């Protein structure tokens, strides 16, 4: 980007004990394009200040609420006030905060799920469109270079006509009722008031949905869901299995769990076409398998020149040469890089390169909410297929 | 077994170009308990004779049909005639041949699927029961030592209360219409007259079903199926995805494919319980992962003393010490060993040790046929769940 | 082979508690080309008879010594007496028994190491040459199809000019002094009188040496050894590390251990050339990696048509289609198949196909003994390099 | 650290096309404890300015030489001038720049190898000691959490008495003479004037040496080296194999290569003790295998509570929960975190927590130079063992 300065970021959420706010700050900072200069880290002013000290943010710009943040930052000069706000609060606050920030003229990066309902998501989409501002949604897994490579391999037709998709996201960390033993993470994720109507389906099912649609370029058209709550007393689903149909006759399965005991973040996808198949695992993300029944399996390895030749997006998304493993934060940071470059171009009065625009948007956020609602609807029905509308 | 001689086996099927007949002969022979002494290897007498020469079977005992085999073998003295018949013909012949052999007093080892329909399966079960003879069904994958270990770990309660099962059997070898380019294997497997009403679901879905029921000790009670034929002109399904419910509230997915391009024999299973989870892959069968969210993953390795201490069945099913990989034929041979030891005990007038009885029977064969019919029924329905009756 | 009968085999050694005799019997029997009809399973006649009952060998042909076996079998008619003798006794008996069998006109299959010294090995080579008989040495690891594929890939020049070889065989089973707690296997393997002057170097170092020379087609010309006995009171080395030089300027490392705690049979090899590199692991033997720095890694998978097209030897050495794992016994059996086909051709008065001749011979056995002696010699020296002569 | 501000860093080197300078800037920045505020990115002022624009450093503080940087920064007020200097130039400049920075009172973080000779290294050690300043050396691989876990597992005695170490660092990227086709990386790394007397041994051999000494807590006492230059015309070694002896009778192998065609950054280590063995691979760094011959292999997975309970250093070195892979930059950043916390404590007038002191120092740098010189010396000798002195 030709903007000759770092973008100024505010963080809402991310107070003590928060996992994802800290990841946002590290990822945003990594590439030297963004600096964290303000925050409303907690609704508890003391906690917000404590977090501000850890983040080394100027105490003057540590706020006790998002409303205060918006108000005070607007009063600052253009040279000083934040360019964009990152929202990492519990899910139920995403929508009101995003709306308020956009209305105040701040660009936004929002954690997923974007809102609590599809209705809210559509409303937010309207706000974003009217505002003309840059809105990014943190579906971090599509930031992995090998995911971008996989998408481009599919786009270039190397898999032939797509036929089948298997996507999974098994976790085991909610095998026991951790929400009852004081885990903050488990607490809000299993609380309908803060997480929304879905548990595992919302938290990680949307990642599986987003990854499969991103890679195939196809939308899920209908699905058949079987969701469960295995841990007694838990108020949201902790396991979900779906038969799915995509556009163009592609079929598949999507399954997620938080009681898959012993699994960590086993997001993985297999896509089979008439010419080749592919396989990718989030926990070993630097490798992509491309295979057919006619010759040796090909293992593509991140960071090599041949990767960039095949996929400019994958090449651009790698910081390190081959053999130096990149991980979760780098994928996360790739979303920020594209968001920042798009925003930087905007602020510099330039057009963003199409490669910069490769980050999740409000449309992805809406797809996620539609997915959640379709799964919940299907799970209640006795009929096999439930349509997923756009 | 204390029977002081080798068991005499006849092979029906297994002529030139057959894959599974050859595997049966090698597996049966491996442990020195069985000798192949007769066969009706093909309906074409010249081909049967040619196969007989390869198998080094006495030409006097190479027959042109199973009827002839039964008739002529019955005329031989008890010291000479075969003890049992192995049936490896295309599927549609399993039932009539098995019935005829049993009625003639021969014990039987039958390839799966056992029959073409559940009705035939029930009829055969009645014949077996009336005959009092030993009947084995070749569900070879349960012959793997680490599968037996997994079953015993579950039986001993180490996984806690079972919750979720994911079982898959992806293959890619029918990605193209191989049946139209002269592949004998592809030919009969995609022909309803020879294979029955199901393709992938019958050929490999039954393996997935059998493996999951064997390991969990639980029966599938209902399922929701989505089956497809992706290759144009193919007459049977080449892909199938099912949501499944087991007894005791266990839920899961079962999916198989013959168009999963680049997959070979990717039979694999994940079982999650309240205490631990497990994972096993047929293509790397000497290892079993046991894991939870509280400590390191444990990789159990075949052939070690601690395996036999945990599971007598797994210990018994290993021929080689740790680190010397065992594979498909050894698993296959383990079914024969237990079948042979059970039969040998019978012939010696002794009781079979319970460990010997650990081989698939006519009941497993019936479960397989019920599974196929339930899947096909569900696939036609618009309602979500279809019961699988016993 | 066009010999219209099974070859008749006698087994010397392989009594109760023996590991390798049992493997020989299973491997020899698997393909239906060989039947075990006689044996001197133990020097203790009662134990020999007991083993004979397990092997279901005619008690008339169970002998109390190899001398008796030779004498009595020679008295039998040509139609009855054994064609060849397999020797699986402790190492120190290989030489005298092999010599006696050859002198009596029996073909021989011998376990490795072939003799106790290079001098004996040369003497045995002379006996074999004079006899004109078929002599096989059981270096089983070169029986793996993917090893044959690797050799042919190298022969065809795909790796370019070879540069570096790393070969290892770590085991951990002698981490503690098992020889003092009654382990029969550990007992003779750590006893110089029965095993020879080397421990790990003899038992598994020779496998590493044989594998590297077989694959590269190059001989080790000199080496620099560092051998150790880590377990107190043990009389032979249990660990050995060597720098090695091969013909044509190829360099490398060869290291083995029996105190590599937690390793099982970690035989593995990496060969790097100017065009490509390769990697193969015995414990996951159905896969071969071929790689360079310019494109994706290629994983060749056993049992596919493209394997046989690249390497007739590898194609011939596979019994099962892709995805059905083959293991140690099948590799072992492949040595027997080639030995049997060569012997069968001989007995049928035909020439053996070159593919049949692909089994280890007395020359490999001599290389092994030279390797052991060179390592021991080097280990004693203060100079860096010790030549390994032919 | 209780220093209530970010540390100010200057970067020397890291101009256009440099790999490692960029990694330093990202790693230093990631955790929000350090800001890059000045640099002499290249000796070419235009290039230095261009790099400064990319790094978004104030043009006033982008210098044309390290001398200028030191001079101008010293003139700044204490509140403004840099706290420390990171040196990422080609190897031959490390020593003079480090010395000059230390003499000017700046703390230093230096890329490895620390100097060109052991003599320089000793001189630098004396300078560091006299200065009383904080000096860090970027041996990044010891920054991996699972490496710290492994070290602590060994320290706690879980492996028993150590016996054998195998450490390797194979790369393939210099398989061809890339230095002749314009690769900047290949150019200086194969140039004795800029890299020193060793090629692969210096560049990556020192990593293998450092990792093995860090993990075992033992020093290499003597070694026997065989080094080669396989690519014609190359002026430094591109392959090296060593037998090594450590203190306390531990033996092993250390081998590295830059012509191991198809390998990327295959740094890996196996350590065997009387009670257990361990295995770790840099390319899949989130997992550590602990194994013995008595029970299942244990796979420890980064980011779990049980990791931090076993090793406070490993717990502290993880940013992300289990299943979110961390990689090379995070390990790198861990060195910076400990360096920054130590420096921050110093500047705040506090004592550094021992955990903060866990980063490589001038002593590690000297060990590396001694290793290089010992290997080169050994490679020239005809005697087997060459001592490595402290």
Interface of B with A in 274-333 (CB under 8 A): 274-277, 279, 289-293, 297
User: Residue A141 burial by CB count (10 A; 0-12/13-18/19+): exposed, middle or buried?
Assistant: buried
Architecture of domain A7-141+335-359: 3-Layer(aba) Sandwich (3.40)
Query: What's the rounded Cα separation, in Å, for the pair B330 and B54?
Result: 22
Residue C221: band (very low, low, confident or very high) from pLDDT cuts 50, 70, 90: very high
Q: Which ipTM value was assigned to this complex?
A: 0.96
Cβ distance A224 to B243 less than 8 Å, yes or no, reads yes
Distances (CA, A) of C73 to A138, B113, C29, C104: 80, 47, 20, 10
Mutating which of B296, B309, B314 best tests the D interface, going by the most D Cβ atoms within 10 A? B296
Looking at A70-199, which runs of residues are DSSP E strands?
84-88, 107-111, 135-138, 162-170
Query: What's the rounded Cα separation, in Å, for the pair A10 and A7?
Result: 10
Rg of chain C's alpha carbons, rounded to an integer?
A: 21
Cβ distance D291 to C261 less than 8 Å, yes or no, reads yes
Whether pLDDT at A83 is above 60: yes
Nearest CA in chain B to A245: B226
Cβ distance D326 to A327 less than 8 Å, yes or no, reads yes
Nearest CA in chain C to B3: C56
Question: Which pLDDT does position C183 carry in this prediction?
Answer: 87
CB-nearest partner of C323 from B23, B31, B264: B264
CATH superfamily ID and name for C7-141+335-360: NAD(P)-binding Rossmann-like Domain (3.40.50.720)
CB-nearest partner of D32 from A56, A285, A319: A56
With beta carbons under 8 A apart, name residues in chain D contacting A26.
30-32, 319
Nearest CA in chain D to C224: D384
Rg of chain D's alpha carbons, rounded to an integer?
A: 21
Interface of C with D in 206-245 (CB under 8 A): 224, 226, 228, 230, 239, 241, 243, 245
Mutating which of A276, A286, A296 best tests the C interface, going by the most C Cβ atoms within 10 A? A296
- How far off is chain D from A386, nearest CA to CA, in Å? 32
pLDDT, tens digit only, all 390 positions of chain B = 468 899 999 999 988 777 888 999 999 999 999 999 999 999 999 999 999 999 999 999 999 999 999 999 999 999 999 999 999 998 999 999 999 999 999 999 999 999 999 999 999 999 999 999 999 999 999 999 999 999 999 999 999 999 999 999 999 999 999 999 888 888 888 999 988 899 999 999 999 999 999 999 999 999 999 999 999 999 999 999 999 999 999 999 999 999 999 999 999 999 999 999 999 999 999 999 999 999 999 999 999 999 999 999 999 999 999 999 999 999 999 999 999 999 999 999 999 999 999 999 999 999 999 999 999 999 999 999 999 988
From the list C39, C35, C34, the residue with the least C-alpha distance to C50 is C39
With beta carbons under 8 A apart, name residues in chain D contacting C251.
226, 228, 239, 241
Query: What's the rounded Cα separation, in Å, for the pair A162 and B260?
Result: 11
Cβ distance B296 to D300 less than 8 Å, yes or no, reads yes
Rg of chain A's alpha carbons, rounded to an integer?
A: 21
Query: What's the rounded Cα separation, in Å, for the pair C326 and B282?
Result: 11
Residues in contact with A119: Cβ distance below 8 Å, sequence separation at least 6, in sequence order = none
> Which is it for strands C135-138 and C162-170: parallel, antiparallel or unpaired?
unpaired
Cβ distance A30 to D32 less than 8 Å, yes or no, reads no
> Which is it for strands A34-40 and A7-13: parallel, antiparallel or unpaired?
parallel
> Given the structure tokens 């490595």, which residue do they identify?
D388
A164 touching B, CB under 8 A? yes
Mutating which of B154, B160, B161, B164 best tests the A interface, going by the most A Cβ atoms within 10 A? B164
Residue-wise DSSP of A300-325 = EETTSHHHHHH-HHHHHT--S-TTS-
Intra-chain end-to-end CA distance of chain B, in Å: 34
With beta carbons under 8 A apart, name residues in chain A contacting B175.
272, 274, 292-293
Rg of chain B's alpha carbons, rounded to an integer?
A: 21
CB-nearest partner of A298 from C293, C294, C296: C296
Residue A184: band (very low, low, confident or very high) from pLDDT cuts 50, 70, 90: confident
Query: What's the rounded Cα separation, in Å, for the pair B107 and B86?
Result: 9
Counting as contact any 3 or more CB pairs under 8 A, the partners of C are A, B, D
Query: What's the rounded Cα separation, in Å, for the pair B116 and A168?
Result: 34
Chains B, D: CB contacts within 8 A come to 34
- DSSP letter for D10, please: E
From the list A105, A109, A87, the residue with the least C-alpha distance to A97 is A87
From the list D131, D134, D98, D133, the residue with the least C-alpha distance to D113 is D98
Whether pLDDT at C16 is above 80: no
From the list C239, C171, C269, C51, the residue with the least C-alpha distance to B324 is C171
**pLDDT single digits (tens) A214-266:** 999 999 999 999 999 999 999 999 999 999 999 999 999 999 999 999 999 99
With beta carbons under 8 A apart, name residues in chain C contacting A296.
290, 298-301, 306
Mean residue pLDDT across chain A: 96
With beta carbons under 8 A apart, name residues in chain C contacting A286.
none
Residue D1: band (very low, low, confident or very high) from pLDDT cuts 50, 70, 90: very low
Query: What's the rounded Cα separation, in Å, for the pair D221 and A384?
Result: 71
Cβ pair A24, A11 in contact under 8 A: yes
Torsion sign over Cα D5, D11, D15, D17: negative
Cβ distance A297 to C295 less than 8 Å, yes or no, reads no
DSSP 3-state of B108: strand
- The helices-and-strands tally (H runs, E runs) of chain A is 14, 14
Cβ pair A66, A100 in contact under 8 A: yes
With beta carbons under 8 A apart, name residues in chain B contacting D303.
none
User: Residue A123 burial by CB count (10 A; 0-12/13-18/19+): exposed, middle or buried?
Assistant: middle
Question: Which pLDDT does position A1 carry in this prediction?
Answer: 44
Tell me which CATH code domain B7-141+335-361 carries: 3.40.50.720
C255 touching D, CB under 8 A? yes
Query: What's the rounded Cα separation, in Å, for the pair C205 and A387?
Result: 64
Cβ distance C382 to D381 less than 8 Å, yes or no, reads no
Query: What's the rounded Cα separation, in Å, for the pair A184 and C216?
Result: 59
CATH fold of B142-321+368-380 reads: Dihydrodipicolinate Reductase; domain 2 (3.30.360)
Query: What's the rounded Cα separation, in Å, for the pair A168 and A270?
Result: 9
Looking at chain B, which runs of residues are DSSP E strands?
7-13, 34-40, 84-88, 107-111, 135-138, 162-170, 220-228, 239-246, 251-257, 268-273, 277-281, 287-291, 297-301, 386-387
Chains A, C: CB contacts within 8 A come to 35
Cβ distance D56 to A4 less than 8 Å, yes or no, reads yes
Query: What's the rounded Cα separation, in Å, for the pair D245 and D241?
Result: 13
D25 touching A, CB under 8 A? yes
* Same fold yes or no, B7-141+335-361 and B142-321+368-380: no
Cβ pair D220, D246 in contact under 8 A: yes
User: What distance lies between CA B274 and its chain's CA centroid?
Assistant: 30
A22 touching D, CB under 8 A? yes
Query: What's the rounded Cα separation, in Å, for the pair C117 and C123?
Result: 10
From the list A157, A134, A156, the residue with the least C-alpha distance to A85 is A134
> Given the structure tokens 């929508």, which residue do they identify?
A95
Cβ distance A6 to D284 less than 8 Å, yes or no, reads no
**What are the structure tokens assigned to B347, written together?**
């012939």
Query: What's the rounded Cα separation, in Å, for the pair C233 and A286?
Result: 48
**What pTM, to 2 d.p., does this model score?**
0.97
**What are the structure tokens assigned to C319, written together?**
């019994």
Domain C143-322+368-380 of CATH type 3.30.530.20: no
Query: What's the rounded Cα separation, in Å, for the pair C59 and C50?
Result: 10
**How would you list the strands of the sheet with A84-88, edge to edge?**
A34-40, A7-13, A84-88, A107-111, A135-138
Q: Which CATH class is domain A144-324+368-380?
A: alpha beta
CB-nearest partner of C239 from D159, D164, D277: D164
**pLDDT single digits (tens) D307-357:** 999 999 999 999 999 999 999 999 999 999 999 999 999 999 999 999 999
Cβ distance C329 to B328 less than 8 Å, yes or no, reads no
Residue-wise DSSP of D210-221 = HHHHHHH---EE
Cβ pair B220, B252 in contact under 8 A: no
CB-nearest partner of B265 from C5, C173, C324: C324
Greatest C-alpha distance within chain A: 65
- How far off is chain D from B327, nearest CA to CA, in Å? 20
Query: What's the rounded Cα separation, in Å, for the pair D300 and A43?
Result: 37
Residue ranges of domains in chain C: 7-141+335-360, 143-322+368-380
A105 touching D, CB under 8 A? no
Chains A, B: CB contacts within 8 A come to 149
Query: What's the rounded Cα separation, in Å, for the pair D243 and D251?
Result: 8
């Amino acid at each position: 980007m030709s903007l000759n300065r770092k973008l100024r970021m505010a963080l809402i959420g991310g107070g003590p004990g928060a996992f994802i706010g800290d990841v946002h700050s590290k990822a945003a900072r990594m590439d030297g394009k963004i600096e964290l200069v303000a925050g409303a880290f907690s609704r508890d002013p003391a906690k917000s200040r404590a977090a501000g000290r850890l983040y080394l943010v100027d105490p003057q710009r540590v706020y006790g609420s998002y409303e205060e943040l918006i108000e005070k930052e607007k009063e600052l000069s253009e040279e000083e006030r934040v360019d964009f706000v990152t929202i990492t609060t519990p899910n139920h606050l995403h929508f009101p905060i995003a709306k308020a920030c956009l209305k105040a003229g701040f660009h936004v990066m929002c954690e997923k799920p974007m809102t609590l309902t599809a209705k809210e998501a559509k409303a937010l989409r309207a706000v974003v469109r009217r505002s003309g501002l840059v809105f990014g949604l943190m579906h971090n897994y599509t930031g992995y270079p090998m995911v971008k490579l996989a998408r481009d391999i599919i786009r270039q037709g190397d898999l032939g006509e797509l036929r089948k998709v298997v996507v999974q996201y098994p976790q085991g960390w909610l095998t026991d009722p951790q929400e009852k033993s004081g885990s903050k993470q488990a607490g809000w994720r299993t609380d309908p008031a803060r997480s929304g109507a879905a548990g595992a389906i919302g938290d990680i099912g949307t990642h599986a949905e987003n990854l499969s649609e991103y890679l195939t370029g196809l939308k899920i058209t209908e699905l058949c869901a079987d969701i469960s709550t295995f841990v007694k007393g838990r108020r949201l689903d902790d396991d979900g299995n779906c038969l799915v149909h995509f556009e163009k006759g592609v079929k598949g399965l999507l399954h997620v769990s938080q009681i898959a005991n012993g699994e960590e973040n086993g997001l993985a996808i297999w896509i089979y076409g008439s010419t080749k198949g592919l396989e990718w695992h989030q926990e070993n993300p630097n490798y992509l398998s491309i295979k057919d029944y006619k010759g040796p399996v090909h293992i593509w390895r991140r960071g090599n020149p041949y990767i960039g030749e095949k996929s400019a997006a994958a090449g651009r998304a790698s910081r390190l040469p081959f053999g130096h493993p990149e991980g979760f934060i780098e994928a996360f940071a790739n979303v920020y890089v594209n968001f920042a470059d798009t925003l930087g171009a905007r602020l510099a009065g330039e057009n963003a390169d199409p490669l910069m625009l490769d980050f999740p948007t409000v449309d992805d956020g809406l797809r996620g909410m539609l997915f959640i609602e379709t799964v919940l609807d299907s799970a209640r029905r006795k009929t096999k297929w439930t349509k997923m509308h756009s």
